[in-house]
Amino acid sequence: MIECKNISKSYKSGEIETLALKNASFRINNGEFIAIMGPSGSGKSTLMHILGCLDTPTSGLYFLDEENIAALSDDELAAIRSAKIGFIFQSFNLLPRSTVIRNVALPLVYAGIQKEKREEAAKNALNDAAFPEKFWQYMPNQLSGGMMQRVAIARALVNNPSIILADEPTGNLDTKTGEMVLETFQRLHQEQGRTIILITHEPYVAEHAERIIQIRDGSIVEDDKNNHRRIANRIVKTI
Amino acid sequence: MKIKDLFQETNAALTANRVRSSLTILGIVIGIGSVIAMISIGQGASGQIQSSIEGLGSNLLTILPGVVQPGRGIVSSGRGAAQTLINEDADVLKQITGVAYVSPELQRRFQIVSPATGNNTNSTIIGANVEYPLVRNVSVSEGAFFTDNQLRSMGRVAVLGPTVAKDLFADSDPIGKTLRINKINFKVIGVLQTKGSAGFFNPDDTVLVPLTTMQKILAGSDFLSTIAVSVEEKNLMPRVQDEAILALAAKHRVDPQSPDFSVVSQADILGTLTQVTDTFTIFLASIAGISLVVGGIGIMNMMLTTVTERTREIGLRKAIGAKKRDVSMQFLAEAIMLTSIGGIVGITFGWGISFAVSQIAGIATKVSFPSVLLAFGVSAAIGIIFGYYPARRAASLNPIEALRYE
């Protein structure tokens, strides 16, 4: 569960201070599928960094599972990321020289999990992300974009996180593979009750979520249930 | 992060850039290899000097006329100038307990001619008594050494060093031949075993004649140039040295604090020469050490490049839960791995060089275990020192910035 109370974030470059986020307050319950939508420069990336414990707010309180993380050190934040957060990036960020299975198991290396258990968890996560078994020993650069993003989804799932943060996950994909990725999110949300936060600038992508937070110029302008929810095409599920 | 995982990550990172990794390792290999080779050459040289000095006679005390001035060493003694040692001094020394043999000697350089072959040479003629071979650790390979009788009767006999024998008689057998030293005829009765040169003195390039003959006929002098004393046991050396000074000072009626002679032990000679070789070794090793530092800088350079190249990867690792320590350990491990591989290959390489030097140049070399340990320790230390800064830089990267890095 996430609770934000009056979060602000300002950056200083030289004399000029820019306020990237102004008094954002909201609550995200466990099991919600939420989209944070806004144009570029709206402050949605800043919000994602704070939600993902990559950064701390300048002022305000951020509770993740009832723990205030606003005042933690870098290494304490790393420990929280390791235990509670799964990241999915626009550009996948896979290690090019490690196999798919090693890429997926990487977060568990830093969590200090035994090798056998890591591989077990990685295989489960790959199955959950609907990644075909015959590519498990491939290198990421031998895979298509859609497949790479599935590896990244499996990596985000592997530590069984409280929240999955997806930053423009379809940004580098064509419509069809993007649809596949969104279908995977919807399935994970429905079948496993995962909490998913989708950051995007595309209304079409945001409409796959249950709830949409609209952000503009650092402020939340709208936070409402999505009444026109799209269901990703189930037919494209199998490749 | 566990050691095994760390090792696996390191291995993957280093094999990803094989050429660059090998070139960096090469820098360390050359550094460590030259340190090992230089130290082994230096140590081999001092070992060789030590054994050849011990080969001049075991437990040897040398008494020289005049004063060996401290600092000027044994090379520039007042030899020849001072005439203070006489035959009776040898008898006094013989009385000291612990003394095994005493060899009073008088040496001069003379022209030697072989009338049979017409060859001539200029060599050191040593007038000696029968204990000379025992004290000086020489033996006769052909013929015989001169006897007490020949000594008493001022026999005109000579025992040749192998170099002199070859110079004068080439390949023919010199025994029984006549040679002319300072225009006086001598009969060759023996040839010495080859010993090899020992620093400034070559025992193979000498001719031995009875001391009496030398003093009365050749040199016309009753004085001695050296008295060599061999002591029964090594641990008796200091006591015998002290007693010899006291006994000779009493005989010469001089103050033992400022005698008119000097007693030099093998340890003194060794000390002077090992000082020289040690300086030489340090000199060589420090030149080699410079290449080691250059190799270390190569490591640092490569690691800094790697950190920049892998900024996004570092950002990702941090995003998914790597702590500062995990990141810095990973990069430090890479640096240490590079230097350790370089160290192992370098030790083998240095060993090879020192073997080649001993084979080709004939200089004895000795690769000692401490020098291997030192080289390995130094290479590991270089890994830590030169890997620390890049590793810290990687660890302190901001994950947000790092993920955005293009």
ipTM of the complex: 0.92
Where residue B200 falls among pLDDT bands split at 50, 70, 90? low
Q: Does B18 touch chain A (CB under 8 A)?
A: no
Q: Which candidate from B12, B323, B326 shows the least CB-CB separation from A97?
A: B12
Where residue A27 falls among pLDDT bands split at 50, 70, 90? very high
**pTM for the predicted model, two decimal places:** 0.73
Query: What is the predicted pLDDT for the residue at B1?
Result: 65
Size of interface A-B (CB pairs under 8 A): 62
Coil, strand, or helix at residue A38?
coil
Q: Do B321 and A83 touch (CB under 8 A)?
A: yes
Mutate to test the interface with B, among A81, A98, A104, A164 (most CBs of B within 10 A): A81
CA-nearest residue to B326 within chain A is A110
Q: Do B321 and A49 touch (CB under 8 A)?
A: no
For residue B200, CA distances in Å to B74, B79, B96, B366 come to 11, 14, 30, 23
Mutate to test the interface with B, among A85, A98, A109 (most CBs of B within 10 A): A109
Chain A neighbors of B12, CB-CB under 8 A: 97-98
In the predicted model, is pLDDT for residue A235 greater than 80? no
Chain A interface with B: residues with Cβ < 8 Å: 49, 52, 54-55, 74-75, 78-79, 81-83, 87, 89, 93, 95, 97-98, 106-107, 109-112, 115, 155, 159
Residue with tokens 């102004």: A22
In the predicted model, is pLDDT for residue B261 greater than 90? no
- Percent pLDDT > 70 in chain A is 97
Mutate to test the interface with A, among B320, B330, B396, B400 (most CBs of A within 10 A): B320
Q: Does B142 touch chain A (CB under 8 A)?
A: no
One-letter amino acid identity for B385?
A: I
Chain A neighbors of B2, CB-CB under 8 A: 109, 112
Per-residue three-class SS string for chain B? CCHHHHHHHHHHHHHHCHHHHHHHHHHHHHHHHHHHHHHHHHHHHHHHHHHHHHHCCCCEEEEEECCCCCCCCCCCCCCCCCCCCEHHHHHHHHHCCCEEEEEEEEEEEEEEECCCCCCEEEEEEEEECCCHHHHHCCCEEEECCCCHHHHHCCCCEEEECHHHHHHHHCCCCCCCCEEEECCEEEEEEEEECCCCCECCECCCCEEEEEHHHHHHHHHCCCECCEEEEEECCHHHHHHHHHHHHHHHHHHHCCCCCCCCEEEEEHHHHHHHHHHHHHHHHHHHHHHHHHHHHHHHHHHHHHHHHHHHHCHHHHHHHHHCCCCHHHHHHHHHHHHHHHHHHHHHHHHHHHHHHHHHHHHHCCCCCCCCHHHHHHHHHHHHHHHHHHHHHHHHHHHCCCHHHHHHCC
pLDDT per residue over A107-120, tens digit each?
999 998 999 999 99
Q: Which candidate from A55, A98, A106 shows the least CB-CB separation from B320?
A: A106
pLDDT per residue over B140-168, tens digit each?
988 899 999 998 999 999 999 988 888 88
Rounded mean pLDDT, A230-234? 76
Q: How far apart are CA B239 and CA B229, in angstroms?
A: 13
